[in-house]
Amino acid sequence: MSLEIKVPPVGESISEVTLSRWIKKDGDHVEMDEVIAELESDKATFELTAEKAGTLKTIAQEGDTLEIGAVVCTVEEGGSSSASAAPQADGMSASAAPSSSAETKTVEVKVPPVGESITEVTLSKWLKPEGSVVAMDEQIAELESDKATFELTAEVAGVLKYVASEGDTLEIGSVVCSIESGASAAAPAKEAPAASEAKPSVQSDRSYAAGTPSPSAAKILAEKGVNASSISGTGVGGRITKDDAVKAEVKKAEPAKSESAKTAPVQAAAPGARNERREKMSGLRKTIAKRLVTVKNETAMLTTFNEVDMKPIMDIRAKYKDKFKETHGVGLGFMSFFTKAVCEAMKSFPAVNARIENEEIVYSDFVDVSIAVSAPKGLVVPVIRNAEQLSLAGIESAVVALAGKARDNKLTIEEMTGGTFTITNGGVFGSMMSTPIINAPQSAILGMHNIVERPVAIAGQVVIRPMMYIALSYDHRIIDGRESVGFLVKVKQLLEDPTRLLLGV
């Protein structure tokens, strides 16, 4: 009986993926939940696992673009165990036999397809030195696109020879390096200790995945500065899983090394020195840059401003913040009030929550609010789903959870995609006024700023009030001036009279 293995859903906005690499080969015996292939979207890399044990029959080819739900392969039960047992039985005689061919074969390792919209990558780092002996499927280099970091693995065992250098920008299909297999690859085997020759079956049974991190695990380990060789994997075949990487801790430096570091002389910069340093842009930073430029070039973006008297909200917070935290377990911040005000104002101005797709305007009857968060590697915008249905406590809880994940680089793709409107708070950094850039494909973004006490006229008298400038950047192709100004005025009215948020008026 055969079981079809299909492309699983991998994200709300992802409709297709690329089969970047088969980890198991056609005809191999696979165990249940064993990683058999890697799939890549335009945002991340995913692992495809076997849903049952059996013999693998590949259907899709490496480099194929597959829709969600498309059949990738089948797994047939039975017939594989006896076939796999035969080589084990003859393992000693096979290993003892001399190689039938001593000729050297050179294999070119090229940049694999890493996503439909990706045409070039950067060779960010060599993981193995030139001239070293590499095993089949061993990681030899890291490639970086504008969306993610990918690992380049050796297609055969042999001696590594560089073709490209670190920092080179390579097109898909370009040669990165070559590997000489055959006589050169056999040399290190002769130098292996006799103990390993006595137990070849144990070595052959060991999965290549042992000690190898998954793409998501590798990213977490790199951010933590943890060497993959220092931890053991709990995944199939000893593979290092994302959970292993999250639990991994950086080993403390040895005391001797610390002492030497303390005694090392520190060379101070010469007075008046005009030094410069260059840092390569990360893939995330390059993606942010491209997206922002695209928005500026492809939208008719305008910004309208207003100001809000924050005293009513500050009075509520001062009166109820302790009771609120005691009851709900989270603090009462400004973001929940702004989110509720935005959701209420969109009932009167639905175009602010809409977007343009091709030649159609898509109106959403729900509000998924993207909250701009400054993470260690750049700006991210996790999404609060169905914000219009949440209470103030629900919104605050969602904000705390998403902001924490952003700081720890633990946000998933699903948590960062699909927003319909964005709120950004530059006031936490002291910004008094700004023109935020729309988060495509959305049509508007609300900018909050710092609260400053200023003299204002109220009922014919000058009084000191805590005031905040708010800004709405919007796409004029879909939102008219009347709607943008009316929306911002509605938000102002709701914030200055929070009772209206409770009454829905």
For β-strands 149-153 and 133-134, DSSP reports them as: unpaired
The arithmetic mean of pLDDT across residues 178-206, rounded, is 50
Strand bridging mode 421-425 / 444-448: parallel
pLDDT at 369 over 90: yes
* Tokens 């056609």 found at: 26
The reply to whether omega before 441 is within 30° of 0 (cis) is yes
How much is the average pLDDT of 114-119?
Answer: 62
**What does the alpha-carbon distance between residue 45 and residue 430 come to, in Å, rounded to a whole number?**
37
437: helix, strand or coil:
coil
d(CA 499, CA 102): 84
Neighbour-count burial of 184, counting CB atoms closer than 10 A to its CB (0-12 exposed, 13-18 middle, 19+ buried): middle
User: Which residue(s) pair with 357 in the sheet?
Assistant: 360
Q: What is the token pair recorded at 375?
A: 């993470």
- What CA–CA distances, in Å, run from 72 to 21, 66, 463? 12, 8, 69
Q: Given the residues 33, 205, 322, 476, select the one marked as catalytic.
A: 476
Find the range with the poorest average confidence among 154-168, 187-201, 317-331, 438-452: 187-201
Residue with tokens 């702004």: 338
* Least confident stretch, 6-10, 402-406, 484-488: 6-10
Which residue ranges form the domains of the chain, and what is each CATH number?
A: 1-82 (2.40.50.100), 104-199 (2.40.50.100), 207-251 (4.10.320), 287-503 (3.30.559.10)
Per-residue pLDDT reduced to its tens digit, 54-96: 899 999 988 888 888 889 999 988 644 444 444 444 444 444 4
Which of 317, 263, 261, 299 has its CA nearest to residue 438? 299
Q: Which of 26, 315, 322, 480 is catalytic?
A: 480
Q: What is the pLDDT of residue 319?
A: 92
pLDDT at 334: 92
* Residue 455 C-beta-side C-alpha neighbours within 13 Å: 3
**Does the pLDDT at position 220 exceed 80?**
no
- Per-chain mean pLDDT for the chain: 80
Taking residues 153-174, report their average pLDDT: 87
155-170: average pLDDT: 88
Residue 480 known to be catalytic: yes
When pLDDT is cut at 50, 70 and 90, the band that residue 33 belongs to is: confident
Between the two ends of the chain, the Cα-to-Cα distance in Å is: 62
